[in-house]
Chain A
Amino acid sequence: GQNIDQPTEMTATEGAIVQINCTYQTSGFNGLFWYQQHAGEAPTFLSYNVLDGLEEKGRFSSFLSRSKGYSYLLLKELQMKDSASYLCAVGNSNYQLIWGAGTKLIIKP
């Protein structure tokens, strides 16, 4: 079967660093996406990894290890506006995205 696992909820402090992990098993692999979703809003694209390694984009970085079926999203210098759900999604061999249930990140002052 196909499945994506990520923690349900995480809590972090404003100004700190948090790492959100994602493990996956899919039929085929066409890249891994991270999306951000604020409460009551649509998901929006954050990052994409197709090769092993780290992709950095400002305060956000995403890492991929294809051999381990593993990714993480690293958020630095946390701000209150980073409170949101973070969705991990993997492209499969049918060019569709398989979605994790999302990690709700709570930022405390």
Chain B
Amino acid sequence: IAGITQAPTSQILAAGRRMTLRCTQDMRHNAMYWYRQDLGLGLRLIHYSNTAGTTGKGEVPDGYSVSRANTDDFPLTLASAVPSQTSVYFCASSDGTEYNEQFFGPGTRLTVL
């Protein structure tokens, strides 16, 4: 593994189904983030984690949950998917200091029908 990986690359999901997007980093970064990116709206923060064992809500957290059991993994769960959650999801990580350069995974394209 080099950097950040995400799985799956893309997914088509029926509304009401549960889905977990996976994210793993090997840079030993403290902070991790989940964003969604929709046309014309830019990157919007869903949830974040400043360090293993802690999580926080971002700008658009409703319908999503996260966990951070260890430094490397930061899964995002949609408990009951809705069509408005159709988006491209990016996971990112940083060392969590004042210089907060974030490194991004390749993204997951999710379609909820």
Contacts and interface: CB of A to CB of B under 8 A. Distances in A.
A101 B40 contact: yes
Contacts, number: 53
A101 B39 CA distance: 9
B106 A42 contact: yes
A11 interface: no
Chain B interface category by residue count: 20 to 34
Interface string A39-52: 00111110010100
A87 interface: yes
B42 A33 contact: no
A43 B45 CA distance: 14
Nearest to B4: A42
B42 A96 contact: no
Interface string A45-64: 10010100000000000000
A48 B43 contact: no
Chain A interface category by residue count: 20 to 34
A17 to B, nearest CB: 25
Contact of B99 (A41, A42, A48): A48
A42 B101 contact: no
B90 A42 contact: yes
Contacts of B107: 41-42
B44 to A, nearest CB: 8
A76 B106 CA distance: 28
A31 interface: yes
Interface of B: 31, 33, 35, 40-45, 48, 50, 58, 90, 96-107
14 contacts: A8-B40, A30-B99, A31-B99, A33-B101, A41-B106, A41-B107, A45-B101, A45-B103, A48-B101, A87-B43, A95-B31, A96-B33, A97-B100, A101-B42
Interface of A: 8, 30-31, 33, 41-45, 48, 50, 87, 89, 91, 95-97, 99-102
Given A50-B99, A87-B43, 8 more contacts: A42-B107, A45-B102, A91-B98, A91-B99, A91-B100, A96-B58, A97-B102, A102-B42
